[in-house]
Structures are given as structure tokens and as C-alpha cells.
Amino acid sequence: MRMQRGCKGGLRLLRPHLDQAAGALAAYLRACGCSDAELAETASVAAPILASLDDDDLFICLYRRTITLLASGETAGAGGTVRGTVIATRLIRHGAPIPEEGAYLGSEADLCAKFSCGRSTFRQALRILDDLGMLHVRRGRGGGYALKRPSSIGVVRQLFALLASRQQTLENIIPVVWALNLVNLRLAMHRFRQLSPGLRAERCDGLAALLVQSSEPRRWGLLQQALSRAANNTMVSTLLRCMVAYHARLGPPPAVHSELDEQLRTDEEAIVQALRRGRDAEAESHHRRAQARLSQMFHCSDLPGSEHAFLGHA
């Protein structure tokens, strides 16, 4: 949104750019301490799964652009938007780890000189930080800019605007969420393989307890959230949060008939048992089967707007 001043001024709604959303996501990931090693692991695990999505899918374009911006973090002579992201990322690295009271950066003049850039380019970096809720302006003598700790709501807002401007529907969102869930599952399985037998059994007991205490659609959502925590991947969990927040709507969850509830419970219990026994391929097979059942339910559902309860990361 842009404000125009003068007698004919007002507010103008601008079309969000992919680079803006990707830049915000890249800066947020760096602010959260997402390392090059974590990004490399994410790319390695995600590549074969995301290959099932169309190359021109909005999410795939966003994902690739974000990876490019993260990889070009120290590249000189980049274009304006990329250069703004580079500066934002370097400011975040300069202030990390960000203390509770914030990290002082300096004045605009000093920072422009430090990064050898003009004010317009530097303000692109400031907008990225401001969109993430990370920028604090200090007023008065000796003022300047300081960094605050990041909040995911900033990047959620950026991606929400991008998805809405491209009129993304449930049909667009579900394949992305299913793919990201599988990435989380593979990462979680990798983490489980590194655990001692006793700790692995304890974690699986925790997953099994979720299935006993809950009914659908909450049961599936809790299982996906637990697998996301086990995967411990900042990029995937952030993308899932954005996708689910975009499609969240007020209203009751869709009705689940008893036969589907039992089928999903069987699949969910089989996933946990396979994880307990270290049978990764079997766990993924049951996970894919459960998602196929849910996809069929969504296509037959006459309750648009409430199906987000099954997406699992709101």
C-alpha cells in the first residue's frame, strides 16, 4: 500500500512482488539463525518431493527465489531488491544474537557509508526489517536504528498478501502443504535415526499418546505439529505456518464420518509404529495414504473455508 499526498492523494493498493516476499522470508530465516548447513539439508530433502509440483507454481517460484537470495547474501553488485536483501541480512548478522533490549545499528548516514549504498537502496533493507517487525527507530539526539527480535507474523503477512494477490485457492494450497508435510516427515525420520533406542521409544510414545487423546481433525493436526517439532527445520515450519494461516477461515471443522476417522487413525498409528521400528519407507507410505484420503474428503466437502483444521500448522 502506498500513500499519495496532495489534494488528490489517498491510498493505492499495490500488487505484492515475489521478490519482496522472498526477501522478507530470507531475512527472517537468517534472523532466526538458519545456517547454511540447515539450508543445504532442506534443499537436499525437499528437492525430490517438490519436484512433484509444477515448475511455475507460485510456491515453487517463491522457494527458489528465497534460496537464491540466501545464497547471494555476500554477492556484490546485485540488483536493487537483492541488494536491499543483502544489506538486511548483513544487518541481522551484525546484530546477532539479538538481545532482549535490541541491538543498536547506527544512523542512516553512517550505515549508508558502511554499505556503500544510496539512501533508496538502504531504505529497501529497512522496509524488509520493518515488515518483519524487527526495526526500531530511535528518536532525538544520538538516534538511529536498532534491531528487535524477529516475529513470524511479519513474514506471514508478506506471504499472505502475495498468495491473495495471485488468488491462490485450496486446490493450490493443499499440494504444497502435503509436500511440506512429507519434507518434515523425512527430516523427522532422520532425527529419529540419530537418537538412542530409549529416547526414540520415548518420543514415539509421545506421538502415540496424541493419537489416543484426540479425535479428528485435531488428531491429524497434532501429529503434523509434533513431526514438525521433531524435524526442527525453520524454513519448512515457517512456510507451513504461512500456507495454513493464508487459508484459515472461521467456522466449524468439516464433519468426519466414522469410517474415515477409523481409516485415518489406522494410518496415523501405522506411521508411529513404523517410526518406532525405524521403517522409514513404510512410515512415508502410510503418511501418503492418509493425505490421499484427506484430499478426497476435501474434494467432496461442501464446507469451504473450514478444511484448514486438517492442514495441521495453524
Asked whether this chain's domains 12-153 and 169-310 adopt the same fold, the reply is no
Over residues 274-287, mean pLDDT: 97
What dotted CATH number matches 169-310?
A: 1.20.120
Asked if pLDDT for residue 141 goes beyond 80, the answer is no
Q: Are 154 and 288 in contact (CB under 8 A)?
A: no
Q: Are 1 and 11 in contact (CB under 8 A)?
A: yes
What dotted CATH number matches 12-153?
A: 1.10.10.10
Identity at 19, one-letter amino acid code:
D
Q: Are 285 and 301 in contact (CB under 8 A)?
A: no
What pLDDT shows up at residue 268? 97
Q: Out of 5-19, 73-87, 208-222, which region has the weakest mean confidence (pLDDT)?
A: 73-87
Q: What is the pTM (predicted TM-score) of this model?
A: 0.82
What pLDDT shows up at residue 204? 97
- In this prediction, residue 249 has a pLDDT band, given cuts at 50, 70 and 90, of low
Cα pseudo-dihedral 19, 179, 212, 192, rounded to 10: -90
Mean predicted lDDT score pLDDT of the chain: 84
Length of the chain: 314
Cell numbers 468439516 correspond to what residue? 254
Asked if pLDDT for residue 302 goes beyond 60, the answer is no
- In this prediction, residue 292 has a pLDDT band, given cuts at 50, 70 and 90, of very high
Exposure letters 269-297 (e unless 16+ CB within 10 A, then b): ebbbbbbbeeebeebbebbebbbeebeeb
Identity at 283, one-letter amino acid code:
A
Read off the pLDDT of residues 202-239 as tens digits, 9 standing for 90 and up: 999 999 999 997 888 889 999 999 999 999 999 999 99
C-alpha distances in angstroms, 39 versus 68, 99, 117, 189, 195? 11, 24, 28, 18, 22
β-pairing, 10-12 vs 2-4, is: antiparallel
Over residues 168-176, mean pLDDT: 89
How is the chain split into domains, by residue range?
12-153, 169-310
